Amino acid sequence: MRLTRLERLILVGPLGIVIAVWLVIPALLGLLATLTNYAPNEPFIHLVGLRNYELIFADRTFASAIRTIAVFTVAAVPLELVVGFSLAFLLRRPFRGRSLVRLILLLPWLVSPVASGVMWHFVLDSETGFLSFVGRWFGLPSLPSPLSQHALALPTVIGVEAWRVAPLVAFLLLPSLATIPRERWDDACLDGLSEFGSIRHVALPAIRPSVLAVTMLLIGGALATFDSVLTMTGGGPGTETVTPALYSYDKAFAFSNWPVGATSGWLIGGAVLLAGVVYLRLTRTDS
């Protein structure tokens, strides 16, 4: 069934308009704004060249934010993929109670990043938290929250994000794993492949497109990390957990410096698009 050009236009047009006006045009305006003194209610908008970029790259807080998000992305994305895939692998075969386990493992994803940040802030707190509670059983003094310690804050934020996202990875990969015919697992077993051999030679090749798509989603989410950090640590202690998105938001709304806010926001967008180019190349190679 071939559609005429008019029919295609009618089908694609409405969403095309919404995405163009509410996403693509603002994104392009954002890119343009990085080269101007753009701000709401600014009567005279003019080009400033690369001054906004110079200001950002001279700012030590932004340098710290870049380091933080690099560590965060490099640590959190593989961790979420490995844990998520492992859970999906264990859930691929039916067993009694599987449906309930799948439902429970979906719960962290239902907790918004904001709520997750608030919840873990208190759950790790020395007065109200779990760690101190366990420590007291062993006669230890009340343990300070790891979120308040320079060396532990970022690893803790990474762990909390993995708690929220890894089960979602399992949810997204499980359908692809479930479509691998049983005979292929049995053949692998008869060929003498270990569990890791089956994963490498049966599972991963079969679900590669899904793994690539999920990785792209995870990288986009990690680079844009904002909500959970805002409520969990506010970027502290010091600037230990400031992310570029948090920096951007602070600049735009706390310091009313929209040009710098928009520029740092676009640098995050640029990093995601760069990852997107790699993803597009990999999917093109596959097809």
Partner 1 sequence: MIRSWSGQRRREAALRGLVLAIAVGIVLLPLIWTMLAAVGIQPDNHTSPPSWVVRPSLDHLADVSTIEPAFWQELATSVGLSVGAAVVAVTLSFLAAYGIARPGRRAARRLNPALLVLATLPAMAYVLPLRDVVRRFGLLDTIPGILLAEVAATAPLAVYVFIAHLAGGSRDREEAAGIDGASPLQILRDVVLPDAASIVAATTIVLIVLDWNFLLTPLVLTGINVRTLPVVLTDLFTLEREVDWPTAAAALTISFVPLVALIGLLHRVVERFNLAGGDPSGDAT
Please report, as residue ranges, which positions from 153 to 172 form the binding site for partner 1 (by CB under 8 A). 163, 167, 171-172
Structural contact between residues 202 and 184, judged by C-beta atoms closer than 8 angstroms: yes
What six digits make up the tokens of 225?
């990390």
* In the complex, least distance from residue 35 CB atom to partner 1, rounded to whole angstroms: 13
> 49 or 97, CB closer to partner 1?
97
d(CA 28, CA 63): 25
| Pair of tokens at residue 230 | 């805002």
Q: By C-beta, is 68 or 248 nearer to partner 1? A: 248
Residue 53 binds partner 1, judged by CB under 8 A: no
Q: Does 179 bind partner 1 (CB under 8 A)?
A: yes
Rule CB under 8 A: say whether 176 interacts with partner 1.
Answer: yes
Binding status of residue 268 toward partner 1 by CB under 8 A: yes
CB of 67 to partner 1, least distance (A): 18
Sites for partner 1 among residues 225-254 (CB under 8 A): 226-227, 230-231, 234, 244-245, 248-249, 252
Per the omega criterion (within 30 degrees of 0), is the bond before 237 cis?
A: yes
152 vs 189, beta carbon nearer partner 1: 189
Task: Give the nearest distance from C-beta 243 to partner 1 in angstroms.
Answer: 10
* Residue whose token pair is 């071939």: 2
> How far apart are alpha carbons 105 and 226 in whole angstroms?
23
Which 200-229 positions form the footprint of partner 1 (CB under 8 A)? 207, 209-210, 213-214, 216-217, 219-221, 223-224, 226-227
DSSP assignment letter at 142: P
Q: Which of 74, 73, 142, 153 lies closest to 117 in space, CA to CA? A: 153
Q: Residue 122: CB partners within 8 Å, gap ≥ 6? A: 128, 129
CA 31 to chain centre: 22
Site size toward partner 1, by CB under 8 A? 122
> Within positions 103 to 132, which residues make up the interface with partner 1, using CB under 8 A?
103-115, 117-123, 125-130, 132
By beta-carbon proximity to partner 1, the closer residue of 54 and 195 is 195
Token representation of residue 118? 């608030």
Q: Nearest distance from residue 231's CB to partner 1, in Å?
A: 5
* Residue 175 contacts partner 1 per CB under 8 A: yes
* Cα-to-chain-centroid distance, residue 17: 27
* Residue ranges in 6-45 that form contacts with partner 1 under rule CB under 8 A: 7-12, 14-16, 18-19, 21-23, 25-27, 29-30, 33, 38, 40
Of residues 58, 19, 52, the one with CA closest to residue 33: 52
In this chain, which of 148, 149, 239, 283 binds partner 1, going by CB under 8 A? 283
The distance of closest approach from Cβ of residue 200 to partner 1 in the complex, given in angstroms and rounded to an integer, is 17
Near partner 1 in 58-87, by CB under 8 A:
86-87
| Positive or negative torsion for Cα 167, 86, 287, 270 | positive
Q: Which residues in 3-26 are b (16+ Cβ under 10 Å) and which e? A: eeeeeeeeeeeeeeeeeeeeeeee
